[in-house]
């Protein structure tokens, strides 16, 4: 029997029978292969996600991969049987931000798969065909389930605009950080530093292209051209800024707890740092991530440490919040 995970309210979930939703006009029905769990899913389950960015009850799951099983009227029939991933933001397509390609800033209001719309922790997912990104026929769908976080990192990499020969760094060596190392390694940097509190992450960071690994307690070199921060704490943001040369470029992707003390504005101004942020991924970043993945310059699979059934959702959520350094990306397989 097909099932789905439904979070009824903070701390309360059920494993329920799942019936596919027939695709409507312009929609597709995707058979889900794998769905990832990230910190934001844990926030939804705990009830700590900011108001307006979640709607209970809901089926979680915004990081997913699958195969198109059916299409609705107006959707291309050629999609049937193709391996795909899909954007989460249900943008309006008609506001000025959407027309500018900045769909994560859609002025019509926030709607996203797995947060306000049904997600992929189910056997199937129905969504607009326009949100799909088609993968190569030989794509590994288990690895492709990490293309949503990869797209967010791709957005950061595009904003960072790292150029060959520059000195670059990543602060945070979790899933996002390891993906960022791979994106920056593809830009042929002169030096690529990874910084994380867990020294056991060094070997994997170096496998992905880091030329140096440090913990915050060690002496950290400075004068980097580009730093991408992925750890999601006020302290990691300050560490990231401290690594930069004057006029350097900082991209923040982590989301600290509400009320966290921020960067020193005096330091930002005097050092003339360029600071940009990422929340989600627009279509250009998704396309970039899929291209890099298809070119085999991005290998998310080594980041997966657990593959579990949907009915093991409570254990999966517990793993994600355990702080165990041996826990990487946790996937649920419908």
Q: What is the pLDDT of residues 147-175, one digit of tens each?
A: 999 999 999 999 999 999 999 999 999 99
Q: Which residues of the chain have a pLDDT value below 70?
A: 257-260
- Give me the sheet containing 274-277, strands edge to edge: 212-214, 191-195, 167-171, 224-229, 244-252, 274-277
- Rounded to the nearest 10°, the torsion over CA 32, 182, 102, 129 is -20
Tokens of 123: 């056997």
pLDDT of residue 260: 63
pLDDT of residue 259: 62
pLDDT of residue 276: 96
| Contact (CB, 8 A) for 149 and 179 | yes
pLDDT of residue 270: 94
pLDDT of residue 258: 67
Closest CA to 239 of 185, 194, 184, 175: 194
């Amino acid at each position: 029997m097909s099932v789905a995970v439904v979070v009824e309210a903070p701390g309360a979930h059920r494993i329920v029978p799942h019936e596919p939703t027939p695709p409507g006009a312009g929609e597709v029905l995707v058979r889900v292969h794998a769905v990832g769990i990230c910190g934001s899913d844990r926030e939804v389950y705990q009830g700590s996600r900011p108001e307006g960015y979640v709607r209970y009850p809901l089926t979680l799951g915004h990081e997913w991969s699958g195969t198109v099983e059916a299409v609705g009227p107006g959707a291309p029939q050629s999609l049937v049987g193709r391996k795909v991933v899909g954007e989460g933001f249900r943008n309006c397509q008609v506001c000025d931000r959407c027309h500018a390609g900045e769909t994560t800033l859609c002025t019509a209001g926030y709607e996203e798969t797995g947060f306000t719309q049904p997600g992929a922790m189910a056997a199937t997912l129905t969504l607009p065909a326009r949100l799909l990104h088609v993968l190569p026929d030989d794509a590994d769908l288990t690895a492709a389930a990490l293309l949503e976080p990869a797209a967010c990192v791709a957005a950061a990499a595009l904003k960072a605009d790292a150029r060959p020969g520059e000195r670059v760094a990543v602060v945070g060596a979790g899933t996002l950080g390891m993906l960022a190392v791979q994106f920056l390694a593809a830009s042929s940097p002169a030096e690529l530093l990874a910084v994380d509190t867990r020294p056991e992450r060094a070997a994997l960071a170096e496998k992905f292209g880091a030329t140096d690994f440090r913990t915050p307690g060690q002496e950290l070199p400075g004068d980097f051209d580009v730093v991408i921060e992925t750890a999601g704490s006020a302290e990691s943001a300050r560490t990231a800024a401290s690594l930069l040369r004057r006029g350097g470029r900082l991209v923040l992707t982590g989301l600290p707890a509400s009320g966290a003390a921020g960067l020193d504005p005096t330091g930002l101004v005097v050092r003339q740092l360029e600071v940009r942020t990422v929340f989600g991924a627009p279509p250009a970043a998704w396309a970039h991530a899929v291209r890099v993945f298809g070119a085999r310059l991005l290998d998310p699979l080594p980041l997966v440490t657990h593959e579990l059934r949907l009915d093991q959702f409570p254990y999966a959520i517990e793993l994600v919040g355990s702080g165990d350094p041996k826990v990487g990306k946790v996937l649920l397989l419908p």
